[in-house]
Structure 1
Amino acid sequence: MRIWGKLIGAGIGFMMGKWFGALLGLYLGHRFIDARRQRRPNPFFHTTFAVMGHMAKSTGQVTQQDIALASALMDQLGLRGDARIIAQQAFSDGKSADYPLRQRLKQLGLALRFRRDLAQMFVEIQIQVALADGEVQAPEMRLLEIIAHELGFNQEQLAQMLARQKGGQHGQQTGMNMADACQILGVDEADDLRTIKRAYRKLMSQHHPDKLASQGLPPEMAQVAQEKSQQIQSAWEFVRANKGE
């Protein structure tokens, strides 16, 4: 499977270095994933790497190069000691043909049942992995559909997340344009400004640091959400400036 090669080829720092890396770093360093205090790893952290491993296996044989590149990603995320061992084991677990994908996703969904925004972040992380080479292969798409379904998202919502991620990725690579901005906001270019503004406000609510803090999340999560909200804000400002409010 070429997934880790795709990650390196696209640039781990670019694709994973901001809110994604910060998110995993948060779960690594905060109360959720303290290997010395917990006998079991946090399901979000463990399942993130396990599903990555499962995706790596989904389109072919995992090679030694895949493993080496997975290690490079762990280096990029600063995983050391117990945390690195946990991540490596999770990735290995996910590669197994009998990895209980749906069962693990159901468990994660239960843990995140009152944290839908975090469930959405999990899906968005896996979308970033699948899109690392600019396209989602058929086995990866099937896997994303399973992930989304088990975490309570329908196909339309998954398609919207995919479109937003593609828009954000393209905007970062080439500079923001109207098509990218509208993709990020999940709207059509033909929509009027009032419709776009409603979509913008909804997305900002989903990713707003204050909302996450009100759900009992640690302050670091607000910083993670800020990365996403800044992208949404930039898209809205671009649309507003070009459509003229």
Structure 2
Amino acid sequence: MSWWSTVIGGALGFMIGGPLGAMLGVAFAGNFSKRRSNSGFNANFSPGNQQRVQAAFFSGVFSVMGYISKVDGKVSKSEIVLAQQVMQHMQLSEEMIQVAKDLFNQGKQADFKLDEVLEQFRVETHRRTHLIRMFLEIQIQAAYADGIFDNSEHNALKAIAQKLHFPIHELENLIQQFAASKSGSKQTSVEDAYKILGAEESLDDKEIKRAYRRLLAQHHPDKLVAKGLPEEMQKLANEKTQEIISAYEVIKKHRGMR
């Protein structure tokens, strides 16, 4: 049973508790007030349960996305559209989109408890680096939504990464990789391909191949889902994987690698 089916079944945000559970509970109650919830303890949702991790990831992604959209002082139409596109891109059901929008709106509020949300997110996901990386990649996408990546958004992402104990230099690599992948060119340039792989042109062929395989392993959809990525977000991981493969093919052709 998926985490969403469990929520629909009555467990609500109470299955994870804390600020993430509270926001999920508010979002659910606000959209489906006729449904009943069970706020009692359920041993099936003890820390480490995959459905619990998935619920925390979903709640964290969309609420922090709302926070990112507001950090420059305003929420642009393009940022709202981007959030909606991400939701639709995941092929979420109408019910899930309504809950995601509510979480996004909660993240925009002045009293949004970012530090508490991030700390719970880190604990609920068991500090799994692959999940945290995917979380940050989605937030980077949100920061770029209006076409402008300013200092306030950059600083906010660095603060979020620090709170999640994610290395800042790796965050900067993710930002460069995203910028290269969205350069606007129909065909990925060799320069951008290296950035997408997070690899220096000075590396030899073996090192390039090693960097490619490491990056591919970090974004393997099945592995991410097994670690707690909601299945609804698997499409994003699939697309990232294809992006990595395409960049590697560009480099292989340029170098004459086999």
After TM superposition, the score normalised by the length of structure 1 is 0.75
Check the 8 A contact 1:185/1:200 in 2, yes or no: yes
1:49 to 59, 62, 67: 62
Aligned residues: 214
1:115 to 124, 128, 134: 128
Report the Cα offset of residue 234 of structure 1: 1.3
Q: Which residue of 2 aligns with 1:25?
A: none
The letter of the residue matching 1:31 is S
Q: Which residue of 2 aligns with 1:9?
A: none
Q: Which residue of 2 aligns with 1:234?
A: 246
Alpha-carbon distance in structure 2 between the residues aligned to 1:110 and 1:129: 23
Report the Cα offset of residue 62 of structure 1: 4.0
Report the Cα offset of residue 232 of structure 1: 1.0
**Structure 2: which 5+ runs fail to align?**
14-23, 25-54
Check the 8 A contact 1:164/1:183 in 2, yes or no: yes
**Runs of 4+ that moved beyond 6 A:** 216-221
**Structure 1: which 5+ runs fail to align?**
1-29
Go from structure 1 to structure 2 and tell me whether the alpha carbon gap of 1:68 and 1:197 turns closer, same or farther (over 3 Å shift): closer
Q: Which residue of 2 aligns with 1:102?
A: 115
Check the 8 A contact 1:167/1:183 in 2, yes or no: yes
In the TM superposition, 1:168-187 aligns within 5 A as 168-170=181-183, 173-187=185-199
The one-character-per-residue Cα deviations of 1:103-151 (angstroms, maximum 9, x if unpaired) are 1011111121253212211100010111234441111111111221222
Highest CA radius of gyration, 1 or 2?
2
The one-character-per-residue Cα deviations of 1:144-184 (angstroms, maximum 9, x if unpaired) are 112212222111010011111112122x6431111110001
Alpha-carbon distance in structure 1 between the residues aligned to 2:196 and 2:136: 15
After TM superposition, the score normalised by the length of structure 2 is 0.71
Check the 8 A contact 2:83/2:142 in 1, yes or no: no
- Which segment drifts farther, 84-93 or 180-189? 84-93
Give the percent of matched residue pairs that are identical in Structure 1 and Structure 2.
35
Check the 8 A contact 2:78/2:146 in 1, yes or no: no
Q: Which residue of 2 aligns with 1:15?
A: none
